[in-house]
Amino acid sequence: MKYSASGRKGIGRIALMAVAAGMLLPVIAASADQGQAPAKDSRRSGFEFMGASTQAMQVNEALNPGMLWVKDGEALWGKAVGKSQLSCAACHGDAAVSMRGVAARYPSFDEGLKRPIGLSQRIKLCRVNKQQAEPLRAESQELLSLEAYIAYQSRGMPLAPPADARLKPFIASGLQRFQQRMGQLDLSCAQCHAERAGQRLGSSLIPQAHPTGYPVYRLEWQGVGSLQRRLRGCMSGVRAEPFAYDAQELAELELYLAVRAAGMKMEGVGVRP
């Protein structure tokens, strides 16, 4: 089920509903403007739910296995491909400059598709339309490496989803998907990651599900994976049929998660159990 969001039913309503679910959005500045004491931000990155050894692996770039994908992405950035024989660098120059903060602003609205898309889909569209090359397969080494390299340029920056009015109905749909029960287990994202965050599922702590570390290296995967892979994995876990990669439904959910985590620091490439 989808519903539109306009006026007071837009971002303000979404923020209030998220707070009701136990996840505070960045309303500290608004409280200060009204002369109120700033609300305490209770959001916590998945990093804070990990053990000390896994945290150390993420922080130390020499130990972080995800940096291998970043290095591969750096090489791919300068590689000419496709009929155009253009590289990413040919159009965008030095990624450390041109890509600074870019990953923090995705998903964003795509003019051609008239809907939000994630960073990985933007890379694929650029490769096909600008480089005139074959599209990269979802979760492929090349795609994840480029995404990891671009995300790395925003490490330490606040997640900043676009303030684009065209995104409002998609954010509302993402919120609805976050709260919707699904699968044979009849569970929603919110039931685990909002209502039961910090509790245990088996031997694992349940995180708040903020997308600050993606693409992420997971010890379980022994490799880097996208946020869409994690979302699809959760859907399989509740015995629901996962949405296809790059489906609008996944983009909407990614967008809502970005709004929910707005202002939190980007960690890419993160490390998780």
- Is the bond preceding 224 in cis, omega lying within 30 degrees of 0? no
> Catalytic pick from 88, 189, 192, 234?
234
Q: How far is CA 158 from CA 82, 88, 144, 268, in A?
A: 34, 24, 21, 12
CB 16 within 8 A of CB 250: no
Closest of 231, 251, 248 to residue 240, by C-alpha: 231
- Is the bond preceding 107 in cis, omega lying within 30 degrees of 0? yes
CB 194 within 8 A of CB 207: no
CB 228 within 8 A of CB 138: yes
Closest of 189, 197, 205, 210 to residue 267, by C-alpha: 210
Per-residue DSSP letters for 17-39?
Answer: HHHHTT---S-HHHHHHTTPPPP
Q: Distance (Å, rounded) from C-alpha 40 to C-alpha 227?
A: 27
Per-residue DSSP letters for 235-273?
Answer: HHHTT-PPPPTT-HHHHHHHHHHHHHTTTSBP-PSEEE-
- Looking up tokens 């505070």, which residue turns up? 24
Specify whether 189 is catalytic.
no
Positions marked active-site: 234
